[in-house]
Amino acid sequence: MMGDISLSCRDIERYLGREEERVHALRGVSLNVEAGSLHAVVGPSGCGKSTLLYILGLLDEPDAGSLQIGSTAISHLLDEELARRRNELIGFIFQFHFLMEDFTAQENVMIPMRRLGQMNEDEMRDRAAALLKAVDLGNKLHRQSRHLSGGEQQRVAIARALANDPQVILADEPTGNLDTDNSQRAFELLANIVRERAKALLLVTHNHFIADACDWVHEMKDGRIVASHPHGQRISV
């Protein structure tokens, strides 16, 4: 264990689809993610990795089970409250980085801060610049995100995920769209930030090397976590 538990879920159940096509996507998933630790979720496509990630990220609601972020239990909250917690406590990174194309790198990083509304314009700009500098994009603050390379865009997404200093970072295939060098670089950057700033990282990946570099690897199959390995143990994905 690296520290206090930042994210925890117990017996999560989730059904997807309508009556005829109903799929039992998650079957009693339980998980603890500690501050300063890196957790990877691996498994074949359609095993429920992303579904789990969206539930943990408060974008989707489980049909059963409990969820806790920090010391706060999350259940049956209104959209407004869920959105506030997403904004304050969680940072998301997606496979296709999902940046606002017409916004500059700096503006993209400022979007979560604008919603939080705790800083003035200058403070937001300064913080966004500092975060982009931390991901080696200090010289591309004002470049539109569509004009950045794939690796650079993913680094902007990492900076954006850290914008409101969240407790938890959730990443859905963060390197899935990058070449090997950029994958390695983005992951190392993310890992360093998580460890330095004591964040809890849960990432979904198909990449063996990245999963192997995490503190914990959780194997999923048919909506269940079938095995959880600490760092260094051999896994089969």
CA distance 73 to 183: 34
Quote the crossing angle between the two packed helices 105-116 and 150-161, to the nearest 10°: 20
- DSSP strands (E only) in 35-89: 38-42, 64-69, 72-74
Q: Which residues contact 200 (CB under 8 A, 6 or more apart)?
A: 6, 7, 33, 34, 35, 36, 37, 39, 167, 168, 169, 194
In whole angstroms, how close is the CB of 54 to another protein at the nearest point?
A: 5
- Residue ranges that bind another protein, judged by CB under 8 A: 45-46, 50, 54, 57, 59-60, 79-80, 83-88, 90, 92, 94-96, 98-100, 102-103, 111-112, 114-117, 160, 164, 172-173, 176, 204
Q: Which is nearer to another protein, 119 or 227 (CB)?
A: 119
Neighbours of 146 (CB within 10 A): 11
Q: Which is nearer to another protein, 38 or 53 (CB)?
A: 53
β 90-93/168-172 pair status: parallel
Structure tokens at 51: 């579904």
Structure tokens at 196: 């330095």
In whole angstroms, how close is the CB of 31 to another protein at the nearest point?
A: 19
Structure tokens at 146: 């569509």
In whole angstroms, how close is the CB of 219 to another protein at the nearest point?
A: 18
Q: Which is nearer to another protein, 102 or 196 (CB)?
A: 102
Q: What's 103's DSSP letter?
A: S
Q: Which is nearer to another protein, 83 or 189 (CB)?
A: 83
Q: Which is nearer to another protein, 16 or 235 (CB)?
A: 16
In whole angstroms, how close is the CB of 23 to another protein at the nearest point?
A: 12
Q: Which is nearer to another protein, 1 or 100 (CB)?
A: 100
How many residues are present in the chain? 237
In whole angstroms, how close is the CB of 57 to another protein at the nearest point?
A: 7
In whole angstroms, how close is the CB of 86 to another protein at the nearest point?
A: 4
